[in-house]
Chain A
Amino acid sequence: MKEIILIKNGELALKGLNRSTFEDTLIKSLKLSLKACGECTIRKAQSTIYIEPKDDSFDFEEGLDRVSKVFGIAAFSRARVCEKNIDDILAAAPEYLADTLRRIKTFKVEAKRADKRFPLTSPEISAQVGGAILSAFPHLRVDVHNPDEIITVEIRDFAAYIRAGQLPGAGGLPVGTAGKAAILISGGIDSPVAAWTMAKRGLKLDAIHFASPPYTSPRAEQKVKTLLSKVAVYSGTIKLAIVPFTEIQEKIAAECPEEYFTLIMRRMMMRIAERIASYHKCGALITGESLGQVASQTLPAIGVTDCVTNMPVLRPLIGSDKEEIIKISRKIDTFETSCLPFEDCCTVFTPKHPKTRPTPQLCEQAEAALHIPELIEKAIAETEFTYID
């Protein structure tokens, strides 16, 4: 028995003249994602993408799972490939759909005859397939208005396809079609979710992590890599920059007022992130901030971190509650990793009473003693890059 995966494009159909670029990007994502399952051919026709395994060695179930994680797909389905003759179709349909048919009470058959050379009309195909299903599963009833399941039979140029129902896709837009942005990631719950959310809207991802050994653990770095590898299942390969941040944090702790430690740290992170991101052709920075979640995420605090960069800073979680964020982090399997207890750059040198209503002027005064350009140059010069997939 030969099975294929059929993909109906989601929002892609809306994109007018750009559509073929979007589809090509989607096919590229699919090819990369499905490489691990074995060999298959991926082709498009009308608004459908066909994934055909080359042979039995293709891991079909894994393939379905991977397709469900590729952005730019509204829905997809698995279908049986059949010879284009009605006897084969009538024999295959009840057998292939048996599991589904046993569990439902009503159905209808929709036939689509793209190849008009096929001797039966669509209503005739529907009637015959419906009859075959009814005689194999007498408990079923046909309901054309509100069926439990719609059985589709498509007669295409090269073969006939039989399928039931559709599986929900990951939605969004194909990764890369919206450009590229860099996520600032510490290892908490929020940043992987923010990264995933923006990848869903078609952004390719770079990542920037600040490491402060020995104040932070080598395991915090490992944790960030694990988190990114989970996001990469959706977003494709992520380029990770690891910025040495020890000296900057020590300098801040030595030379700035304590209540500004976190704010100045974040301003330094933004400055460095902007430099790295723009050098690597990112159009924006992404953070996992959620308004008011902690002292450094109040409106004035966000204001004083934003004003040191000219790059747009995307904050997809700004209006989300913690519970909503956790729900997504569980869905994309980052929650448990995020909860591992290692010190990271955000947990060291935290002020007892952080400033919650800072202004840019006050921050500038507070960081006046730092030699900011030199610190930034040095950190960037020593930054190391690695690819996560």
Chain B
Amino acid sequence: MKDIVYLDNSATTKPCKEAVEYMNKAMCDSWGNPSSLHTIGITAEDILISCKEACAKALSSRPDEIYFTSGGTEANNIAINGALLARAKQGNRIVTTAIEHPSVAEVINSFEAKGFEVIRLSPQADGKISIEDLRCAITKSTILVSIMLVNNEIGTIQPVKEASAFIKEVGAPAILHCDAVQAFGKLPVRPSALGVDLLTASGHKIHGPKGIGLLYKRKGLHLPALTFGGGQQENLRPGTEPTPLIASLEGAVRALPATATQLKKMSELNAYAKKQLAATGIVTFNSPEDALPYIINISVPGYRSETLLHFLDAQGIYVSSGSACAKGGQSPTLDALKLDKKRIDSALRISFSRDNTPEDIDRLCDALLRATQKLKRA
């Protein structure tokens, strides 16, 4: 039996062998400054070129559309700040959802405070925003649409492609940004097929290292510089590129199994999990049927999230509390779904990676049953 059952892969994943090896090699053998003109520099620059190629292949895009950032948060910040600065003169409306990650929501809030009009679409009962609402929200004065592809709390897939069609239909000057941090490497993510101008992904959610993310920027779209420096990465993100992290990201991307096959495997694991969890008789499901199979959000009514989390922790099983504790904190998605407070208070997020097995699910279900036998109801 494995020592630990790690089921919190939407928070972060364990770095894969390739990610570690690539980083090690970059630090030992290719430690130059990629901007240097000499051979040592060129060897380091090869890392950038090679990683861009790998990422471009994964996104079916071009290598010169890939920019490296310090992670999803920075990529979202560059995308939204840049897009709004670029389009500020052409309109005043921002369309987004009520369930974005804080690194999107907070940037948009800061523009709302400066006088921009923000439309935040709330999810319907199925966890998705309504296509009709989306169509109505996008007007000729819309300059930015930012929609996440997969929600980080319940795994619902949002209608990003539709947004791109509506922007064209209306003739809005809007730039379309998509936070695909929870989708990259799990779903087929093709910016050109989705019709997005900007797309965010992160390394540590796909068994890569923390501290590296990427921003896809459609060729031809110009964003103003927000940070000033030595001109690296076309000034979109200046500063000497972190080659060890970039190499490691490449290792992780190259190690990604074919998306379609992996998605099928994950659907089977998800189905097994749902069956076994339902069989315990103590669980209600917060994730809708058609959510990304990597994420299942459940509630165990009568038991606080944090209590369950610590109980599972003591058995070597690691999940995330779907909501914060009685002392505060928020779960934007579960709140937006207007679930009953007791259900929110007892929510757990179980998130898979390719390393999980049906035995992990069995151990989780056993432990949950034991928790309800042993713990006092709140």
Show the binding face of A for B, using Cβ within 8 Å: 213-218, 249-250, 253-254, 339, 341-344, 347-350
Contact = CB atoms under 8 A, between A and B. Distances in A.
A349 B328 CA distance: 16
Contact of A213 (B304, B310, B329, B376): B310
A253 B304 CA distance: 15
Nearest to B309: A214
Interface in B55-82: none
Interface residues of B, number: 19
A214 B376 contact: no
A341 B308 CA distance: 16
Interface in B267-322: 304, 306-311, 313-314
A341 B304 CA distance: 14
Contacts of A216: 310
A349 B326 CA distance: 11
Contact of B325 (A249, A339, A347, A349): A347
Contacts of B375: 214-215
Contact of B328 (A254, A341, A344): A341
A215 B304 contact: yes
B327 interface: yes
10 contacts: A214-B309, A214-B310, A215-B306, A215-B310, A217-B310, A217-B325, A341-B325, A348-B307, A349-B378, A350-B326
Nearest to B305: A343
Say what secondary structure dominates the interface of chain B: loop
Given A215-B304, A254-B376, A342-B327, 15 more contacts: A213-B310, A214-B307, A214-B310, A214-B314, A215-B306, A215-B307, A215-B310, A215-B375, A215-B376, A250-B376, A339-B328, A341-B328, A342-B306, A343-B307, A347-B326
Nearest to A344: B327
B324 interface: yes
Contacts of B328: 339, 341
B89 to A, nearest CB: 40
A290 to B, nearest CB: 18
Interface of B: 304, 306-311, 313-314, 324-329, 375-378
A236 B227 CA distance: 45
A344 B310 CA distance: 13
Nearest to A250: B376
A344 B326 CA distance: 9
B314 A343 contact: no
Nearest to A253: B376
A268 to B, nearest CB: 15
A181 B163 CA distance: 64
A341 B329 contact: yes
A58 B246 CA distance: 45
Contacts of A339: 328
A342 B304 CA distance: 12
Contacts of A217: 306, 310, 325
Given A213-B310, A214-B311, A348 B327 contact: no
Contacts of B309: 214
Contact of A347 (B313, B327, B376): B327
Contacts of A347: 325-327
A350 B304 CA distance: 12
B313 A214 contact: yes
Contacts of A348: 304, 307, 326, 378
A379 B47 CA distance: 59
Contacts of A250: 376
Contacts of A218: 310
Contacts of B326: 343, 347-348, 350
B76 to A, nearest CB: 24
A254 B376 CA distance: 8
A342 B378 CA distance: 15
A340 to B, nearest CB: 8
A347 B325 CA distance: 9
A256 to B, nearest CB: 12
A254 B377 CA distance: 9
Contacts of A344: 327
Which 3 residue pairs of A and B lie closest in terms of their CB atoms, listed nearest first?
A: A214-B310, A214-B311, A341-B327
A250 B375 CA distance: 8
A216 B305 CA distance: 11
